[in-house]
Protein backbone atom coordinates (compact mmCIF):
# COMPACT_ATOMS: atom_id res chain seq x y z
CA UNK A 1 0.00 0.00 0.00
CA UNK A 2 3.98 0.75 0.35
CA UNK A 3 11.59 3.17 1.77
CA UNK A 4 10.51 2.56 -1.86
CA UNK A 5 9.59 -1.00 -2.65
CA UNK A 6 11.60 -1.40 -5.79
CA UNK A 7 13.32 1.83 -6.63
CA UNK A 8 17.07 2.28 -7.29
CA UNK A 9 19.21 5.42 -7.22
CA UNK A 10 19.12 8.01 -8.67
CA UNK A 11 15.68 9.01 -7.48
CA UNK A 12 12.83 9.77 -9.83
CA UNK A 13 11.23 12.65 -7.95
CA UNK A 14 7.93 12.69 -9.79
CA UNK A 15 7.41 8.98 -9.28
CA UNK A 16 8.33 9.34 -5.62
CA UNK A 17 5.84 12.20 -5.28
CA UNK A 18 3.11 10.11 -6.87
CA UNK A 19 3.81 7.35 -4.36
CA UNK A 20 3.86 9.95 -1.60
CA UNK A 21 0.42 11.19 -2.68
CA UNK A 22 -0.86 7.63 -2.46
CA UNK A 23 0.59 7.38 1.06
CA UNK A 24 -1.20 10.55 2.18
CA UNK A 25 -4.48 9.31 0.72
CA UNK A 26 -4.02 5.94 2.41
CA UNK A 27 -3.24 7.53 5.77
CA UNK A 28 -6.39 9.65 5.57
CA UNK A 29 -8.44 6.57 4.69
CA UNK A 30 -6.98 4.58 7.57
CA UNK A 31 -7.54 7.45 9.98
CA UNK A 32 -11.23 7.44 9.09
CA UNK A 33 -11.27 3.65 9.53
CA UNK A 34 -9.71 4.04 12.98
CA UNK A 35 -12.30 6.67 13.90
CA UNK A 36 -15.00 4.13 13.07
CA UNK A 37 -13.17 1.42 15.02
CA UNK A 38 -13.23 3.66 18.10
CA UNK A 39 -16.92 4.43 17.39
CA UNK A 40 -16.20 8.11 16.82
CA UNK A 41 -17.91 8.10 13.41
CA UNK A 42 -20.51 5.89 11.74
CA UNK A 43 -19.30 4.46 8.43
CA UNK A 44 -19.47 1.13 6.60
CA UNK A 45 -16.00 0.46 5.21
CA UNK A 46 -17.01 -2.98 3.96
CA UNK A 47 -20.08 -2.19 1.84
CA UNK A 48 -20.40 1.56 1.24
CA UNK A 49 -19.13 2.34 -2.30
CA UNK A 50 -17.72 5.66 -1.06
CA UNK A 51 -15.21 3.74 1.07
CA UNK A 52 -14.75 0.55 -0.97
CA UNK A 53 -14.16 2.62 -4.10
CA UNK A 54 -11.48 4.65 -2.35
CA UNK A 55 -9.76 1.50 -1.14
CA UNK A 56 -9.64 0.10 -4.68
CA UNK A 57 -8.28 3.38 -6.02
CA UNK A 58 -5.57 3.57 -3.36
CA UNK A 59 -4.42 -0.01 -3.94
CA UNK A 60 -4.45 0.59 -7.69
CA UNK A 61 -2.28 3.68 -7.33
CA UNK A 62 0.20 1.85 -5.08
CA UNK A 63 0.54 -1.10 -7.44
CA UNK A 64 0.77 1.18 -10.47
CA UNK A 65 3.67 2.98 -8.74
CA UNK A 66 5.27 -0.37 -7.90
CA UNK A 67 5.07 -1.39 -11.56
CA UNK A 68 6.58 1.94 -12.62
CA UNK A 69 9.34 1.44 -10.04
CA UNK A 70 10.13 -2.02 -11.37
CA UNK A 71 10.41 -0.66 -14.90
CA UNK A 72 12.91 1.92 -13.64
CA UNK A 73 14.82 -0.69 -11.62
CA UNK A 74 15.16 -3.06 -14.57
CA UNK A 75 16.15 -0.25 -16.93
CA UNK A 76 18.92 0.74 -14.52
CA UNK A 77 20.13 -2.82 -14.07
CA UNK A 78 19.21 -3.35 -10.42
CA UNK A 79 21.34 -6.29 -9.21
CA UNK A 80 19.97 -9.37 -7.50
CA UNK A 81 21.59 -8.66 -4.10
CA UNK A 82 19.88 -5.29 -3.90
CA UNK A 83 16.61 -6.76 -5.14
CA UNK A 84 16.67 -9.52 -2.51
CA UNK A 85 17.44 -7.02 0.24
CA UNK A 86 14.46 -4.87 -0.65
CA UNK A 87 12.23 -7.86 -1.32
CA UNK A 88 13.14 -9.24 2.10
CA UNK A 89 12.04 -5.98 3.73
CA UNK A 90 8.63 -6.23 2.06
CA UNK A 91 8.25 -9.91 2.96
CA UNK A 92 9.17 -9.39 6.62
CA UNK A 93 6.77 -6.45 6.86
CA UNK A 94 4.01 -8.59 5.35
CA UNK A 95 4.54 -11.18 8.09
CA UNK A 96 4.46 -8.45 10.73
CA UNK A 97 1.17 -7.16 9.32
CA UNK A 98 -0.31 -10.66 9.57
CA UNK A 99 0.87 -11.02 13.15
CA UNK A 100 -0.33 -7.58 14.22
CA UNK A 101 -3.71 -7.97 12.56
CA UNK A 102 -4.18 -11.37 14.23
CA UNK A 103 -3.80 -9.68 17.62
CA UNK A 104 -6.20 -6.85 16.81
CA UNK A 105 -8.67 -8.67 14.54
CA UNK A 106 -8.47 -12.39 15.41
CA UNK A 107 -11.53 -13.25 13.32
CA UNK A 108 -10.51 -11.23 10.26
CA UNK A 109 -6.72 -11.12 10.35
CA UNK A 110 -4.78 -10.35 7.18
CA UNK A 111 -3.41 -13.44 5.48
CA UNK A 112 -2.87 -11.93 2.02
CA UNK A 113 -2.96 -8.16 1.96
CA UNK A 114 -1.20 -5.56 -0.14
CA UNK A 115 2.33 -6.33 1.14
CA UNK A 116 1.88 -10.07 0.67
CA UNK A 117 0.67 -9.44 -2.88
CA UNK A 118 3.49 -7.00 -3.56
CA UNK A 119 6.14 -9.48 -2.42
CA UNK A 120 4.79 -12.13 -4.81
CA UNK A 121 4.31 -9.70 -7.69
CA UNK A 122 7.83 -8.34 -7.34
CA UNK A 123 9.18 -11.86 -7.81
CA UNK A 124 6.99 -12.39 -10.86
CA UNK A 125 7.99 -9.11 -12.49
CA UNK A 126 11.65 -9.59 -11.64
CA UNK A 127 11.58 -12.90 -13.50
CA UNK A 128 9.13 -12.12 -16.31
CA UNK A 129 9.78 -8.43 -16.92
CA UNK A 130 12.94 -8.77 -19.01
CA UNK A 131 11.10 -11.23 -21.28
CA UNK A 132 7.98 -9.07 -21.80
CA UNK A 133 7.41 -6.31 -24.28
CA UNK A 134 5.09 -3.43 -23.51
CA UNK A 135 2.25 -4.81 -25.63
CA UNK A 136 2.53 -8.29 -24.11
CA UNK A 137 2.58 -6.89 -20.56
CA UNK A 138 -0.49 -4.77 -21.30
CA UNK A 139 -2.42 -7.72 -22.76
CA UNK A 140 -1.46 -10.08 -19.94
CA UNK A 141 -2.41 -7.36 -17.47
CA UNK A 142 -5.84 -7.03 -19.07
CA UNK A 143 -6.29 -10.80 -18.93
CA UNK A 144 -5.25 -10.85 -15.26
CA UNK A 145 -7.88 -8.22 -14.47
CA UNK A 146 -10.65 -9.94 -16.44
CA UNK A 147 -10.00 -13.57 -15.48
CA UNK A 148 -11.33 -13.52 -11.89
CA UNK A 149 -14.58 -12.02 -13.20
CA UNK A 150 -15.00 -14.99 -15.52
CA UNK A 151 -13.78 -17.86 -13.33
CA UNK A 152 -14.55 -18.59 -9.67
CA UNK A 153 -14.93 -21.71 -7.56
CA UNK A 154 -15.61 -22.52 -3.92
CA UNK A 155 -12.24 -24.31 -3.80
CA UNK A 156 -10.59 -20.87 -3.75
CA UNK A 157 -12.62 -19.56 -0.79
CA UNK A 158 -10.24 -20.81 1.92
CA UNK A 159 -7.29 -18.84 3.30
CA UNK A 160 -4.96 -21.39 1.71
CA UNK A 161 -6.23 -20.64 -1.81
CA UNK A 162 -7.99 -17.26 -1.81
CA UNK A 163 -4.69 -15.46 -2.52
CA UNK A 164 -5.11 -16.45 -6.18
CA UNK A 165 -8.29 -14.38 -6.54
CA UNK A 166 -10.84 -16.88 -7.86
CA UNK A 167 -13.11 -16.71 -4.80
CA UNK A 168 -16.90 -16.84 -5.00
CA UNK A 169 -17.17 -14.10 -2.33
CA UNK A 170 -14.79 -11.64 -0.70
CA UNK A 171 -13.22 -13.30 2.37
CA UNK A 172 -13.68 -11.87 5.85
CA UNK A 173 -10.38 -10.09 6.34
CA UNK A 174 -9.19 -6.55 7.03
CA UNK A 175 -7.10 -6.41 3.86
CA UNK A 176 -7.40 -8.61 0.80
CA UNK A 177 -5.32 -8.03 -2.33
CA UNK A 178 -5.24 -11.31 -4.30
CA UNK A 179 -2.79 -12.00 -7.09
CA UNK A 180 -5.56 -11.64 -9.64
CA UNK A 181 -6.78 -9.12 -10.66
CA UNK A 182 -4.14 -6.93 -8.98
CA UNK A 183 -1.16 -8.33 -10.87
CA UNK A 184 -2.77 -6.80 -13.93
CA UNK A 185 -2.52 -3.31 -12.42
CA UNK A 186 1.16 -3.79 -11.62
CA UNK A 187 1.82 -5.11 -15.13
CA UNK A 188 0.14 -2.03 -16.57
CA UNK A 189 2.34 0.12 -14.37
CA UNK A 190 5.40 -1.74 -15.63
CA UNK A 191 4.35 -1.33 -19.26
CA UNK A 192 3.61 2.36 -18.68
CA UNK A 193 7.00 2.79 -17.05
CA UNK A 194 8.79 1.20 -19.99
CA UNK A 195 6.91 3.49 -22.38
CA UNK A 196 7.61 6.61 -20.36
CA UNK A 197 11.32 5.82 -20.03
CA UNK A 198 11.55 5.34 -23.79
CA UNK A 199 9.47 8.32 -24.90
CA UNK A 200 8.85 10.82 -22.07
CA UNK A 201 11.41 10.26 -19.29
CA UNK A 202 10.90 13.79 -17.97
CA UNK A 203 7.43 12.76 -16.81
CA UNK A 204 9.16 10.58 -14.21
CA UNK A 205 12.45 12.44 -13.70
CA UNK A 206 11.49 16.08 -14.15
CA UNK A 207 11.90 18.62 -11.37
CA UNK A 208 9.15 19.10 -8.84
CA UNK A 209 7.80 22.38 -7.48
CA UNK A 210 9.17 23.05 -4.01
CA UNK A 211 5.70 22.57 -2.53
CA UNK A 212 5.64 18.95 -3.74
CA UNK A 213 9.11 17.98 -2.51
CA UNK A 214 7.74 16.70 0.84
CA UNK A 215 5.62 14.21 -1.10
CA UNK A 216 8.73 12.94 -2.90
CA UNK A 217 10.56 12.50 0.42
CA UNK A 218 7.56 10.66 1.84
CA UNK A 219 7.42 8.45 -1.24
CA UNK A 220 11.03 7.37 -0.69
CA UNK A 221 10.12 6.09 2.77
CA UNK A 222 6.75 4.61 1.86
CA UNK A 223 7.32 1.17 3.39
CA UNK A 224 8.48 2.62 6.71
CA UNK A 225 5.54 5.01 6.74
CA UNK A 226 3.15 2.17 5.90
CA UNK A 227 4.36 0.11 8.84
CA UNK A 228 4.39 2.96 11.37
CA UNK A 229 1.37 5.09 10.59
CA UNK A 230 -1.35 2.77 11.90
CA UNK A 231 0.29 1.99 15.27
CA UNK A 232 0.82 5.73 15.75
CA UNK A 233 -2.73 6.69 14.72
CA UNK A 234 -4.30 3.94 16.83
CA UNK A 235 -2.11 4.82 19.81
CA UNK A 236 -3.04 8.49 19.59
CA UNK A 237 -6.75 7.74 19.29
CA UNK A 238 -6.57 5.26 22.16
CA UNK A 239 -4.90 7.87 24.35
CA UNK A 240 -7.41 10.53 23.34
CA UNK A 241 -10.46 8.35 23.97
CA UNK A 242 -9.01 7.22 27.31
CA UNK A 243 -8.50 10.86 28.31
CA UNK A 244 -12.06 11.81 27.25
CA UNK A 245 -13.50 8.90 29.27
CA UNK A 246 -12.03 10.19 32.54
Report the pLDDT value the prediction gives residue 98, as an integer from 0 to 100.
Answer: 96
Spatial separation of the C-alpha atoms in residues 19 and 13, rounded to whole Å: 10
Report the pLDDT value the prediction gives residue 244, as an integer from 0 to 100.
Answer: 76
On whether residue 27 sits in a domain, the answer given is yes
On whether residue 189 sits in a domain, the answer given is yes
On whether residue 17 sits in a domain, the answer given is yes
Query: From first to last of its 246 residues, what are the pLDDT tens digits of the chain?
Result: 454 444 444 678 999 999 999 999 999 999 999 999 999 999 999 899 999 999 999 999 999 999 999 999 998 888 889 999 999 999 999 999 999 999 988 999 999 999 999 999 999 999 998 888 899 999 999 999 999 989 999 999 999 999 999 999 999 999 999 999 999 999 999 999 999 999 998 888 888 899 999 999 999 999 999 999 999 999 999 999 888 777
On whether residue 2 sits in a domain, the answer given is no
Alpha-carbon distances, residue 135 vs 131, 139, 185, 221 (angstroms): 12, 6, 14, 31
Report the pLDDT value the prediction gives residue 204, as an integer from 0 to 100.
Answer: 87
Q: How many domains does the chain have?
A: 1
Helix residue spans in the chain (DSSP H): 13-37, 49-75, 80-104, 114-128, 134-150, 179-199, 202-205, 213-220, 222-244
Report the pLDDT value the prediction gives residue 153, as an integer from 0 to 100.
Answer: 92
Report the pLDDT value the prediction gives residue 110, as an integer from 0 to 100.
Answer: 95
On whether residue 8 sits in a domain, the answer given is no
0.85 surpassed by pTM: yes
On whether residue 239 sits in a domain, the answer given is yes
- Close Cβ partners of 57 (under 8 Å, ≥ 6 residues apart): 25
Cis-peptide into 10, omega within 30 deg? yes
Report the pLDDT value the prediction gives residue 79, as an integer from 0 to 100.
Answer: 86
**Tens digit of each residue's pLDDT (9 = 90 or more) over 8-54:** 446 789 999 999 999 999 999 999 999 999 999 999 998 999 999 99
- Return the bridge partners of 176, or none: 112
On whether residue 6 sits in a domain, the answer given is no
Name the nearest CA neighbour of 216 among 8, 22, 6: 22
What is the extent of the structural domain holding 159?
A: 13-244
On whether residue 30 sits in a domain, the answer given is yes
Amino acid sequence: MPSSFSHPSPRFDRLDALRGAAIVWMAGFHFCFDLRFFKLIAADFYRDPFWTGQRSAIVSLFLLCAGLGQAVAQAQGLGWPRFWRRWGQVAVCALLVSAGSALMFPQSWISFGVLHALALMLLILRWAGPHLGQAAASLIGAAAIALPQLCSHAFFDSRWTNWLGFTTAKPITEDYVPLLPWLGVMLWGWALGRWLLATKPAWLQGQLPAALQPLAVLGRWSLSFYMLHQPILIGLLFAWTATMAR
